[in-house]
């Protein structure tokens, strides 16, 4: 057996039927990258851009000069700013818009697509006010369409350029995973998107996958703040590890599984986003930690930082379910409640000492130097 023959053919599940025509709704960096990947996988792809001038530039330049300038668009990709044309005859929709635009976009799609067309979201977040995950937001506006999510440790430029990349695709197909897994939305989309360098994995845990995507941006801001403030790898590793625990805590009351969060959509995405300035959330936090005023980050340019918005919605939802997320609460305090960075870190490091994992060691004792934590961080960050 060669290194490429993974398992005997008769042990494999029946090959799913891939979606052949895919509409990618959203022409930012990740939407463009997914359109390129789908085209390389042999799918018929239509890419929708919200603005006419953006769509025109994509067609004329043959690349996304603003968001993904280093990768050319395959000639087979059709670009349009007309949403009706984009989704016409599509077998599946990839919705790749900011989390704040999911509801509005889903409402428009409801008028254009049949209820049988699956909608797979690449948006990550929790809606303020409602506390809904993105698939639930979209589902409220659609007409019973099958829902899914695509998530994982992916920088758009690397994925589009053919660097080895993996993701998780989850769908809400319920018992179909037990009776006919190859017919699930997740399996069919995985086969539709898989290329020699883009490797999807399949999940039936839609809320677990989505929780990971929502929280990782908030934790990345915390890591950025710590790095910008001058703290090193020890601090970042602690924030990533304990941030993963916060993901697990919130996933369970929303119907997700803790083990899902240890996969690509959880710890994978978390590690990537928290470890590189190429992440907008990490970069945003880094600038704040360096003392740059919020309005002056990114040289004053308007940049969508999903974790900024989600710091509120994530903690609101956690409070509703009685779940304490100390790192997310610290980020909320810094971004939205005027807390000093020193106070936020004093709170994190001065909290009562707990067991790890808490589920096995039910223990909480007062920290012996909790009062000194505030003084320490004020001095070290002054």
Judging by beta carbons within 10 Å of its beta carbon (0-12, 13-18, 19+), is residue 326 exposed, middle or buried?
middle
Where are any strands of DSSP class E within 185-249? 198-203
Residue 28, annotated as binding a ligand:
yes
Tell me which residue has tokens 């996304």: 64
Joined together, the tokens standing for residue 82 give 């007309």
CB atoms within 10 A of CB 299: 8
> Which DSSP category does 96 fall into?
-
Residue 44, annotated as binding a ligand:
no
Q: Terminal CA-to-CA distance of the chain, rounded, Å?
A: 62
Residue 29, annotated as binding a ligand:
yes
Q: Which residues of 15-52 are buried (b: 16+ CB within 10 A; e: fewer)?
A: ebebbebbbbbbbbbbbbbbbbbbbbbebbbbbbbeee
Residues annotated catalytic, as ranges: 216
Joined together, the tokens standing for residue 54 give 């953006």
Cα–Cα dist 178/184, whole Å: 10
The phi and psi torsions of 355 (rounded to 5 degrees) equal -80, 155
CA-only gyration radius of the chain, Å: 21
Residue 100, annotated as binding a ligand:
no
Helix, coil or strand: residue 380:
helix
Residue 63, annotated as binding a ligand:
no
H-helix segments, 7-51: 29-40
Residue 331, annotated as binding a ligand:
no
Beta partners for residue 169, in sequence order: 150, 202
Pairing of strands 92-95, 21-25: parallel
Joined together, the tokens standing for residue 369 give 């130097």
Residue 279, annotated as binding a ligand:
yes
The rounded Cα 292 to chain-centroid distance in angstroms is 26
Residue 17, annotated as binding a ligand:
no
Cα–Cα dist 362/348, whole Å: 19
Residue 51, annotated as binding a ligand:
yes
Residue 281, annotated as binding a ligand:
yes
Residue 124, annotated as binding a ligand:
yes
Cα–Cα dist 382/329, whole Å: 23
Q: Say if residues 103 and 127 touch (Cβ distance below 8 Å).
A: yes
Residue 156, annotated as binding a ligand:
yes
Q: Say if residues 73 and 32 touch (Cβ distance below 8 Å).
A: yes
Q: Return the closest-CA partner of residue 204 out of 221, 224, 181.
A: 181
Residue 306, annotated as binding a ligand:
yes
Residue 67, annotated as binding a ligand:
yes
Specify binding-site residues for substrate.
124, 280-281
Q: Binding site for sn-glycerol 3-phosphate: residue ranges?
A: 124, 152, 216, 269, 279-281
Bind-site residues for NADPH: 29-30, 50-51, 67, 124, 156, 280, 304, 306
Known binding positions: 26-31, 50-51, 67, 124, 152, 156, 216, 269, 279-281, 304, 306
């Amino acid at each position: 057996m060669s290194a490429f023959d993974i398992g005997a053919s008769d042990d494999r599940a029946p090959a799913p039927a891939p979606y052949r025509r895919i509409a990618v709704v959203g022409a930012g960096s990740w939407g463009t990258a997914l359109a390129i990947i789908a085209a390389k996988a042999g799918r018929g792809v239509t890419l929708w851009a919200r603005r006419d001038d953006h769509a025109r530039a994509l067609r004329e330049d043959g690349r996304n000069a603003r968001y993904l300038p280093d990768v050319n668009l395959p000639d087979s990709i059709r670009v349009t700013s007309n949403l009706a044309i984009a989704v016409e005859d599509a077998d599946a929709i990839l919705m790749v818009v900011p989390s704040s635009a999911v509801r509005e976009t889903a409402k428009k799609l409801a008028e254009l697509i049949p209820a049988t067309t699956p909608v797979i979201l690449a948006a990550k977040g929790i809606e303020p006010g409602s506390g809904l995950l993105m698939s639930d937001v979209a589902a409220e506006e659609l007409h019973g369409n099958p829902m899914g999510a695509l998530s994982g440790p992916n920088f758009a430029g690397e994925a589009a350029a053919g660097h080895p990349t993996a993701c998780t695709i989850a769908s809400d197909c319920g018992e179909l995973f037990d009776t006919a897994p190859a017919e699930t939305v997740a399996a069919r989309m995985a086969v539709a998107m898989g290329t020699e360098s883009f490797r999807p994995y399949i999940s039936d845990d839609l809320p677990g996958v989505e929780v990971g995507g929502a929280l990782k941006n908030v934790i990345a801001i915390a890591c950025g703040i710590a790095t910008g403030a001058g703290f090193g790898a020890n601090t970042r590793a602690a924030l990533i590890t304990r941030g993963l625990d916060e993901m697990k805590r919130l996933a369970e009351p929303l119907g997700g599984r803790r083990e899902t969060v240890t996969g690509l959509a959880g710890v994978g995405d978390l590690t990537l986003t928290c470890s590189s300035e190429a992440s907008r959330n990490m970069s945003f936090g880094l600038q704040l930690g360096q003392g740059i005023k919020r309005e002056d980050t990114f040289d004053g340019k308007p940049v969508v930082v999903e974790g900024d918005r989600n710091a509120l919605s994530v903690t609101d939802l956690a409070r509703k379910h009685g779940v304490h997320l100390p790192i997310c609460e610290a980020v909320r305090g810094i971004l939205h409640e005027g807390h000093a960075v020193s106070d936020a870190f004093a709170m994190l490091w001065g909290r009562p000492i707990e067991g790890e994992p808490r589920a096995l060691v039910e223990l909480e004792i007062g920290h012996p130097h909790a009062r000194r934590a505030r003084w320490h961080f004020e001095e070290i960050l002054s």
